[in-house]
Structure 1
Amino acid sequence: MTDALGYRAKFGVLGPSTNTIVQPDFDDMRPAGVTNHYSRIIIQNAQAISDESFMQGTLEIDRCTVDAVKGVLTCAPDYLVMGMSAVTFYGGAEGAAKWKQNIEEVSGLRISTGSESVVAALQALGNIKKVSFLSPYFPVANTEVANFLSDHGYETVRDKPLRRPSWTAIAETTPTMVREAVAEIDGDEVEAIIQVGTNLSMVKQAAQLELELGKPVIAINTATYWHALRAYGIPDKISGFGRLLEEH
């Protein structure tokens, strides 16, 4: 017997309780027969006013993730998708691998994370080595992202931390702010632009910027959901979200 709606796959999605973007973003990209079941990582709406407070807030999310995993397991999902990206970059390639291994051991399921999904997306999109990225983070977390990318052979040309003042304020980032940040970090030497931070909705804007700039623009939510679909063996091509979902 199969689930009446999730007859191809039931995805358990793990995301902070303050995040209002991942759930609708993932649902927008959901093919027929796949269902997304959001499990909230219960946290407070942290006020991120410095490198230190930002890191403390993300580590609180990390500490509470296993409880969200246990909660979503009760609906018998087939696969897990991490809807929070910052902690999946911490500690470089080794730290990211250990984080993923821990969740897979706790859950008994495979999981797609933002960090590994970005690398897989870069590999799928071509011979890319020099990248720039923007985030809603503070500089300390951007350093972790750059270190992770370096471990996988990617040079960060420029990065832009938007320093959003709270978790919910990340979702209030405007398209104009995103466009200005992209213009700041782009350049002829930049082969791809990446956006991290799952509560910043850029899935459709990234597709538009990709057409305008003539180079890959990878939104973290697109990359993560694409990775989950492909890792679970769902090959559907989905339009409106850029080359990654349309061609790979």
Structure 2
Amino acid sequence: MPERRNKDVQGYRYKFGVLGPSTNTIVQPDFDDLRPHGVTNHYSRIVVDNAKAVSNETFMAGAWEISHNTIDAVKGVLTCSPDYLVMGMSAVTFFGGAEGALKWRQNVEEVSGLKVSTGSEALAAALEAYGGIKKVAFFSPYYPTANAEVANFLSDYGYETVRDKPLQAPSWTAIAEIDDDKMRETFRYLDGDDVDCLIQVGTNVSGIRFCAAAEMYLGKPVIAINTATYWHALRACGVYDHVPGFGRLMAEL
């Protein structure tokens, strides 16, 4: 029987405060699908307009708007007394490489008094957990400038980006419309014998099931950012339940 950390009848093991943009419709259901019994997710929305990301500049401006509004969402979710925070937004956590990611996380931790899992650092931890990975390829709903930030972050951890694909979604909500057909087409472009691992970045893309299926037929790690982030939060809290159906990360590692 899992240890009862809380008297809460649903979140008796851990209550996660999840922080995500108000335009994001994917993180909440994805994280709920990944949660083991006794762990609950409590979503706090980072209020942001449904920006039309039609260029490098407007995408980056929109991403920084989300970043600046994060602290209000942190303060809101603290009222339910969570044990741990999980970022349901990943773009800005890649900005500035490993150092920028660390400073961004530490700022949230200082305000909240809680530990936090971010998409960027969770991805780095997932790559290390798989082991044997040197060269990667990834796609995102972002624009080229933001993809360059992801590649720079990965390089700080020693991973070479062989190929990447920015899908350039026309708005924040349109990111959630990227479907299996588009992911299949994109992974076909990205994959090759020169790639050890494929990655899907962007928390408003629901890749948790598609990436698990792709991992089986490609015979190499395929990581969805939402899977990596939630896995990291569970493991950081000492929860080692294996949840099948979402790839080796959740089922074995």
After TM superposition, which residue ranges in structure 1, 4 or more long, deviate above 6 angstroms? Answer: none
Q: Which of 115, 124, 128 is residue 129 of structure 2 equivalent to?
A: 124
What corresponds to 2:210 in structure 1? 205
Partners in 1 of 2:213 and 2:92 — Cα distance?
A: 28
What corresponds to 2:41 in structure 1? 36
What corresponds to 2:191 in structure 1? 186
Alignment of 1:1-248 (within 5 A): 2-248=7-253
Shift of 1:174: 1.3
Partners in 1 of 2:217 and 2:170 — Cα distance?
A: 30
Shift of 1:218: 0.1
Partners in 2 of 1:82 and 1:115 — Cα distance?
A: 10
What corresponds to 2:3 in structure 1? none
Shift of 1:61: 0.1
- 1:110-145 superposed Cα distances (whole Å, 9 cap, x missing partner): 000000010100011111010000000000000000
- 1:2-46 superposed Cα distances (whole Å, 9 cap, x missing partner): 111100000000000000000000000111000000000001001
Q: What secondary structure, in the 3-state scheme, does the structure 2 residue paired with 1:171 have? A: helix
Shift of 1:181: 0.7
TM-score by structure 2 length? 0.97
Shift of 1:212: 1.1
- 1:148-189 superposed Cα distances (whole Å, 9 cap, x missing partner): 000010000000000000000000011111111111111101
Partners in 2 of 1:132 and 1:54 — Cα distance?
A: 21
Shift of 1:76: 0.2
Amino acid paired to 1:67? D
Partners in 1 of 2:35 and 2:127 — Cα distance?
A: 22
Partners in 1 of 2:150 and 2:23 — Cα distance?
A: 22
Q: What secondary structure, in the 3-state scheme, does the structure 1 residue paired with 2:178 have? A: coil
Q: What secondary structure, in the 3-state scheme, does the structure 1 residue paired with 2:57 have? A: helix
Q: What secondary structure, in the 3-state scheme, does the structure 1 residue paired with 2:136 have? A: strand
TM-score by structure 1 length? 0.99
Partners in 2 of 1:145 and 1:77 — Cα distance?
A: 29
- 1:49-93 superposed Cα distances (whole Å, 9 cap, x missing partner): 000000000000000000000000000000000000000000000
Amino acid paired to 2:203? T
Q: Percent identity?
A: 69
Number of residue-to-residue matches in the alignment = 248
Partners in 2 of 1:231 and 1:161 — Cα distance?
A: 30
Shift of 1:47: 0.3
